[in-house]
Amino acid sequence: DGWFARVALVDPETTLSMPPQVTASTGGDALCQAIEAFTSIAASAITDALAMQAIELIGRSLLRAYMVGSDITAREGMSLGSLMAGMAMASARLGAVHGMAHPLGSHYRIPHGVVCGLLLPYTMAYNLPYATEKYAEVAHLLGEKVENLNLETAAHRAVARVRDLLTKVALSTHLGEFGVKEDGLDVIIEESLPSGSFKHNPRPLGAEDARRILTEAL
């Protein structure tokens, strides 16, 4: 219990001086937390409500906060969205992105938010067959017009929208930029597999599934 804060003071005014690259990194992590909590096998009606609001807030606030750091409305949206994402993940847990992000960050010194944002679209693409309905909702929450689309098409729009948003805030899109190579994946996979985040991913995955995601992300 000593690791957990009893009180969190979330004040968007304290984020006004945050550099764009830190805004992008922390924002990518918050979006990842919200989406992974939303699609976790431990999700509930309560965590879904928090995660959905977080996805919508982050989706409409992140790019603005990145481009105009002094925009208090965007900063407030990001602060509230990240708080709600954290509340959702505390109960619903996370998914494969975070399971792989921790060893990658440790071995290659990749900032946590950067690696989470980087892996998110690749992992969402892997999860599509098992999270189609929820990803369709993610697309809607991120502003996509999905009313006349079938669920599968709408779900694909979510992956594309997430990739586009994170690209616009200049997050890296390939692990190779950090020196990750195919011959270094074995240790990452080995350290990822025991993760509780893997166990809560909507689509089951083993070593070769993780290798597939990581290889595509190289």
Query: Residue 163 — pLDDT band, cuts 50, 70, 90?
Result: very high
Question: If you average pLDDT over residues 45-53, what whole number do you get?
Answer: 98
For the chain, the C-alpha Rg in angstroms (whole number) is 16
* 8 Å CB contact between 160 and 76: no
Query: Residue 7 — pLDDT band, cuts 50, 70, 90?
Result: confident
Sign of CA pseudo-dihedral 99, 76, 171, 112: negative
Q: Output the pTM of the full model.
A: 0.94
Percentage of the chain exceeding pLDDT 90: 94
Question: If you average pLDDT over residues 66-70, what whole number do you get?
Answer: 97
pLDDT tens by residue, 107-127: 999 999 999 999 999 999 999
Percentage of the chain exceeding pLDDT 70: 100
